[in-house]
Amino acid sequence: MDYQLTELQQEIRDIARRIAEEKIKPVRAQYDEDGAFPWDIVKVCADADLFAVFLPEKYGGLDGGIMELVVATEELSRACGGIALCLAASALGTIPIVLFGTDEQKEKYLPDLAAGKTVAAFALTEPAAGSDASAIQTTAVKDGDYYVINGLKQWITNGGEAGTYVVVTMTDRSKGARGASTFVLEKGMEGFDFGKKEDKMGIRGSTTRELIFRDCRVHKSHLLGREGMGFMVAMKTFDMSRPGVAAQALGIAQGALDEAITYARQREQFGHPIISFQGMQFKIAEMAMRVEAARALIYAVARSIDAGDTRCAKESAMTKAFASDVAMYVTTEAVQVLGGYGYMKEYPVEKMMRDAKITQIYEGTNEIQRSVIATNLIKEYASKK
C-alpha cells in the first residue's frame, strides 16, 4: 500500500531497511544470546542520522517528527526489536527535553543526542510504581539552589549505557500527582549509580538496569519544566512516544510475517508447498490484515501529532495497544507456521515472539492503554450532552 511518504521519509525508510538487512540481521542472534548493548549499531545509526530524524534542525536534527521516528523504528525492528530500542528508547528520553526543556537545556543535550554521540533514557518506573505512576518513592528535596535526590528506578531501558537521563521524582508528596517533578541528569553525577542488569525473556539486545540515587545533589537548572509538572511531562511524553512503541511492535510483526511467508513458500508437505493449502493461506491472510491495519493506524496518529494535535492521548494509546496485540498474535502464528522449526533458536521467529511480548507491557500495559482510551471516550461523550 502506498502511504504517501515524503521524500525524507522514503529516504529514512530505505536507509533504516538497509541497516536492518546488512548490519542488524547478521548479529541479532548473538546479541540475543549475550545481552550486550549494541554500540556498533548505535554508531551505524548515528552515521546515518537516524537519531536526528525527529529533532529540530537548530540542534542538529533533520526537522522531522514522530512520523519520521516511526518509519525508522519500524524498519529497524523488522530485523530486531531489541537492537532497535537503542534508537526508540533514546527518543523516549529525548522527547521530554524537546517538549519542556529550556533553551539552555536543549542546547546542552540535544546536539549530542541528535548526533548519536550519546543515548538517552527515561526513568519513571520503580519497584512499587508501575501502572500506578503516582506511587513513586524517589524524592527530590530542595536545598537552596539544589535538589537532593534519593531513590531507586527499575527496569530502565538504556540504563547504564545512556549519558542523559530524564528522571521523575516527588518534590512534594502532600500534593499527590501534582507534587512530582522531573530532572535531566547525567551519567557520572555524584550519588547517581546503577544496579543490576536485568536478564530478560526478550529484547535482549537492549540493556535494562536499575538507577540508584543516594544523596545525588543537582542544581535547579536540571529541573525540566517547573516544579510540580512531573506527571504532565511524563504523560505528554507518552502521548508522543507511544506511536514509537507501536512502530517497534509493527516492525516485529512485519518481520515475523516475512519469515512465515518465506518459509511457507519453501516448505513442502504432501508434495506441495504448504502455502498452497487453504488453511495456511487463511492464516497468513489474517496475519497480513492485522499488520496492515496496525500500520495504517500508527501512521495516521503520527501524522496527526506532527500536524499539531496536542490532545492525542486516546489515539496514542490505541496505537500502542493495538499494534502490540497484533505483534503478539502475528509472532505466535509465525511460530505455528514454522512448526517445530519455529520453536528452535536456529530460526528467528521464536525470538520475535519473545520480543513482541514486552510491547504489551512497557510504556504502560495494554490494560492501562484501554483505561486511557475508555476514560477519554467517556469524557468526549459526556461533553456532547
What pLDDT is stored for residue 238 in this prediction? 96
**What's 198's DSSP letter?**
P
Residue ranges per domain, the chain? Answer: 7-119, 121-227, 231-383
Q: Which residues are catalytic?
A: 363
Instruction: Provide the whole-model pTM.
Output: 0.96
**What's 341's DSSP letter?**
G
Task: Write out the H or E segment, with its range, that includes residue 120.
Answer: strand 120-123
In sequence order, which residues have a C-beta less than 8 Å from that of residue 153 and are 6 or more positions away? 123, 124, 125, 126, 138, 159, 167, 210, 211, 213
Interatomic CA distance for residues 55 and 164, integer angstroms: 16
What pLDDT is stored for residue 295 in this prediction? 98
**What's 220's DSSP letter?**
G
Confidence of residue 377 (pLDDT cuts 50, 70, 90): very high
- Considering the chain, what is the average pLDDT of its residues? 97
What pLDDT is stored for residue 23 in this prediction? 98
Interatomic CA distance for residues 232 and 258, integer angstroms: 39
Class of domain 7-119: mainly alpha
33-86: pLDDT as tens digits = 999 999 999 999 999 999 999 999 999 999 999 999 999 999 999 999 999 999
Which CATH superfamily groups domain 231-383?
Butyryl-CoA Dehydrogenase, subunit A, domain 3 (1.20.140.10)
What pLDDT is stored for residue 176 in this prediction? 85
Interatomic CA distance for residues 96 and 121, integer angstroms: 10
Query: What is the dotted CATH code of the domain comprising 121-227?
Result: 2.40.110.10
What pLDDT is stored for residue 384 in this prediction? 80
The 3-state DSSP class for residue 362 equals coil
Count of residues making up the chain: 385
Whether 265 shows a pLDDT value over 80: the answer reads yes
